[in-house]
Chains A and B, each alone.
Chain A
Amino acid sequence: MITKTRLAMTTLALALVLGGCSSSPSSNGEASGTENGKNGVQEISVYTTNSPDRLWVKKLSSEFEKTHKNIKVKIIEVPFDNFDSKLQTMLASNTPPDITTHIGWAGFSEYMSKDQLLDLSPYMDSFNAAELGIPEELMKIFQVNGKQYAIPLQAFVSLMLYNKDLFDKAGIPYPPSSYDDATWTWDKMLEDAKKLTVVSNDITKVQYGLSWAWSGGGREQDPQYFGHDVFPADTFTSNKGLAAENFFGNPDVTNDLQKLADLVLKDKVAPPAEFSVGGSDAFLAGKIAMAVDGAWRLSGVNDAGFRMGVAAIPMGGNSKVRDVLWTDGYWIFKGSKHPEAAFEWIKFMAQKENQEQMIELSGGSPSASQLALDKYANFFKGVDPTEIKNVVNGGIQYGAEGYAHLMPGSGEMHTLIDNELNPVFNGSKKASQVTPELQQKLNTMLEKNRKRDSK
């Protein structure tokens, strides 16, 4: 009897657990929205991160709901590092969200190559990019065979931040923000970096002239800066981002990689990997004079305890490409039950006033619209707005889109390239000892990717 009572109690407890924790039908947030509700309300889902820089998605979606009474927006937020893993799970289980962009390593081409993106061309009649101030160059990034597959809402250029206090102390003129200044070259930058570097046994006095993360840490794109492509040109035009081969073994590419490694090892103007400031940012700590990185680095400007400037990336040997663009195109996944409503959301976010709000709410992420450039240029305390405008305009003009956005399987490739090149950057091997084998391994991986795509 006692046993039966206990069994009944256990069953009851389990039932309570199951009942108490179950999901409500409307909170499932699964992709492709929900069917029309009783009042004809359509629910669309937007997939993003829960980091502060994406707060605008939540806030502006509330504004969107006020003006679009028949559309409800479900925000699915995940941590930055888990962005790709959750999205892949949702796609594999055929429950993708309606709208998202590329935030992790898997980019636009990853989904494009798998035929998972909705062709937005039928909706483009109601969307005038030029009127909204979105440059044609940015729209083209998301065009495949004449069809539009995503709308850019944010566009990060790469740029140089510099510490004016350290330049003044060394008596060196500030670097220019204009991309038209032909005197601003790699060699000039290196010369300045050497003068700005302070070698000392006293760790509090150590100072470096330069930190270089031109392509956001993706070494596969770095040789492009010097005018040497790692992948054939047709990879990004007619080949859907699927490279037929790679040229890591090419002597020019090898020399470029060695040149970058030598910033730390030979020239000693850049900090070694172990140089970190309590987990914080060595540039913001005032220990680095020039930092080349993505425009997201500007977000820390307002916390810095020194005067900061923004400069153009110097000329490195490639007359067409001087910086990397990270354009966040927003797309709609195939299978969305409410593509019109989803497109309305994208259109709403592209409006000038919303692009301006996005800059404010994100703490300084750049909009894709040139109409909001004034707002962006004036957002950062103590930085000359003209410098920011020059750098953004020049960056778009001379920018090449980040490989991560354009090549399927870029995450896997990046891991391989990073692992193989690590000995070069920590000084245990020369680039020439590593790149022939890297070329071979990467070719095998590329062949596998092409076979997977042809299936």
Chain B
Amino acid sequence: MASTSERKTAAPGRLLGFIVLLVLSIVMLMPALFMISTSFKSNAELLLFPPTLIPKDIRFDNYTTIFEKMELLLYYKNSLLVSGFIVIGTLLSSSYIAFGFVRYRAPGRNALFMILVATLMIPYPATMIPQFVLFKNLGWVDSYLPLIVPAFFGSAYMIFLLRQFFSNLTDELFEAARIDGCSEFRSFWNIALPLCGPALATVAIFSFLWSWDDLLGPVIYLNSNDKYTLPIALAGLSSKFRVVPWNTLMVAAIYTVLPCIALFSFCQKYFVEGISLTGTKS
């Protein structure tokens, strides 16, 4: 138990820390607050200078009229479909490949892993055209396949992340399983994966966010408006040739970030549970 004098010296420090954190939080939240504020503004109020933080004329109808201005639900459905499959594909493939890198000892394994990690350094535009030619020859242009299928072949970053996590699991665990007649796949599925809740949650969050926000991939491969994802629709609201309708754009942006917030909240719970499950880690 801390003495009264200790508490007295700790209090100013804590208070200062609290104030610093509070100020930083406000600074970090400002863009989000401005986004929410702008989403409620009228067209006329968008032009006011200096800009208002609390709208004078709150326009709730901005949140409903957007559905008349653009096919938001269609783009939502498309984005969910693409991101959903990318998350499933990334989780399945990357975890299995990472497990293989940890559990199997084979000549050239480390070199192969280094090559895999090196691919992270290749920027997407460098591979964009050869990939486009490949998928065009497969007849996949204007479909979701070029966006989804690569996820089922693993993501270098996610493999790297999961490999680090799998390597913390003790060999004894798998040896005991093998003695009990457990196959390698079952060891992976029933033992390794449940122990990697936090890592899988992280992979799910990352792959969802990256695919949800991805603009260039869908722009390159999709040609039909009815297949477009949310980022393409949002980008279409701004043009050099028009005054940007910031209120509409901010409403669309808020609708767009909702699934990200929901997923993060959902995975955060598993994240905590996952940590408690990993008590057997060495």
Given known contacts A277-B47, A303-B47, A49 and B239 CB-to-CB distance under 8 angstroms: yes
Question: Could you tell me the distance in whole angstroms from the C-beta of B19 to the nearest C-beta in chain A?
Answer: 27
A303: nearest residue on chain B (CB-CB)? B43
Residues of B within 8 Å of A394, CB to CB, are none
Residues 28-79 of A at the B interface (beta carbon under 8 Å): 28-30, 45, 49-53, 74-79
A3: nearest residue on chain B (CB-CB)? B185
User: Is B129 in contact with chain A by the CB < 8 A criterion?
Assistant: yes
Check B239–A53 contact: CB distance below 8 A: yes
The 8 A CB mask of B55-80 against A (1 = contact, 0 = none) is: 00000000000000000000000000
Within the assembled complex, what's the spacing in Å between the Cα atoms of A364 and B268?
Answer: 49
The one of B141, B143, B144, B235 that contacts A30, using a Cβ cutoff of 8 Å: B141
Residues of A within 8 Å of B242, CB to CB, are 51-53, 296, 299-300, 363
Check A79–B185 contact: CB distance below 8 A: no
Residues of B within 8 Å of A30, CB to CB, are 136, 141-142, 223
Residues of B within 8 Å of A280, CB to CB, are 46-47, 51, 243-244, 246
Within the assembled complex, what's the spacing in Å between the Cα atoms of A403 and B192?
Answer: 61
Check B232–A89 contact: CB distance below 8 A: no
Check A53–B145 contact: CB distance below 8 A: no
Residues of B within 8 Å of A82, CB to CB, are 215-216, 219, 235
Within the assembled complex, what's the spacing in Å between the Cα atoms of A303 and B246?
Answer: 13
Residues of A within 8 Å of B125, CB to CB, are 85
User: Is B275 in contact with chain A by the CB < 8 A criterion?
Assistant: no
Residues of B within 8 Å of A2, CB to CB, are 186
Within the assembled complex, what's the spacing in Å between the Cα atoms of A89 and B149?
Answer: 20
Check A75–B244 contact: CB distance below 8 A: no
Q: Is the interface of A mostly helix, strand, loop or mixed?
A: mixed
Check A51–B239 contact: CB distance below 8 A: yes
Residues of B within 8 Å of A278, CB to CB, are 34, 38, 46, 48-51, 246
Knowing that A82-B215, A204-B50 touch, tell me 16 more A-B residue pairs with CB under 8 angstroms: A21-B145, A22-B145, A23-B141, A27-B223, A28-B141, A29-B141, A53-B241, A76-B223, A80-B240, A80-B241, A278-B38, A278-B46, A278-B48, A280-B51, A296-B242, A299-B241
Within the assembled complex, what's the spacing in Å between the Cα atoms of A344 and B43?
Answer: 40
Residues of A within 8 Å of B258, CB to CB, are none
Given known contacts A22-B145, A85-B216, A74 and B241 CB-to-CB distance under 8 angstroms: no
> Footprint of B on A, CB under 8 Å?
2-3, 6-7, 10, 14, 17-18, 21-23, 25, 27-30, 45, 49-53, 74-82, 85-86, 88-89, 92-93, 95, 203-204, 277-282, 284-287, 296, 299-300, 303-305, 363, 365
> Footprint of A on B, CB under 8 Å?
34, 38, 43-44, 46-51, 81, 85, 89, 92, 125, 128-129, 132-133, 136, 139-145, 148-149, 152, 183, 185-186, 189, 215-216, 219-220, 223-225, 227-228, 232-233, 235-244, 246
Question: Could you tell me the distance in whole angstroms from the C-beta of A80 to the nearest C-beta in chain B?
Answer: 5
Check B143–A23 contact: CB distance below 8 A: yes
A279: nearest residue on chain B (CB-CB)? B246
B41: nearest residue on chain A (CB-CB)? A278
Residues of A within 8 Å of B34, CB to CB, are 278
Check B47–A18 contact: CB distance below 8 A: no
Residues of B within 8 Å of A77, CB to CB, are 225, 236
Check B129–A89 contact: CB distance below 8 A: yes
Within the assembled complex, what's the spacing in Å between the Cα atoms of A77 and B99?
Answer: 42
Residues of B within 8 Å of A78, CB to CB, are 219, 232
The one of B81, B128, B132, B235 that contacts A79, using a Cβ cutoff of 8 Å: B235
Within the assembled complex, what's the spacing in Å between the Cα atoms of A404 and B195?
Answer: 57
Within the assembled complex, what's the spacing in Å between the Cα atoms of A378 and B148?
Answer: 49
Question: Could you tell me the distance in whole angstroms from the C-beta of B69 to the nearest C-beta in chain A?
Answer: 9
Pick the most buried of B133, B139, B141, B238: most chain A CB atoms within 10 A of its CB: B141
Check A300–B243 contact: CB distance below 8 A: yes
Provide 5 A-B residue pairs closer than 8 Å at the C-beta atoms, listed in order of the A residue. Answer: A6-B185, A6-B189, A50-B233, A50-B236, A286-B49
Within the assembled complex, what's the spacing in Å between the Cα atoms of A78 and B148?
Answer: 20
Residues of B within 8 Å of A18, CB to CB, are 145, 149
Check B243–A23 contact: CB distance below 8 A: no
Within the assembled complex, what's the spacing in Å between the Cα atoms of A223 and B203?
Answer: 53
- Kindly list the 5 A-B residue pairs having the minimum CB-CB distance in the complex, ordered from nearest: A278-B51, A79-B235, A51-B239, A23-B143, A29-B223
Residues of B within 8 Å of A287, CB to CB, are 49
The one of A50, A74, A85, A277 that contacts B232, using a Cβ cutoff of 8 Å: A50
Residues of A within 8 Å of B223, CB to CB, are 27-30, 45, 74, 76
Within the assembled complex, what's the spacing in Å between the Cα atoms of A52 and B69?
Answer: 10
Residues of A within 8 Å of B46, CB to CB, are 278, 280
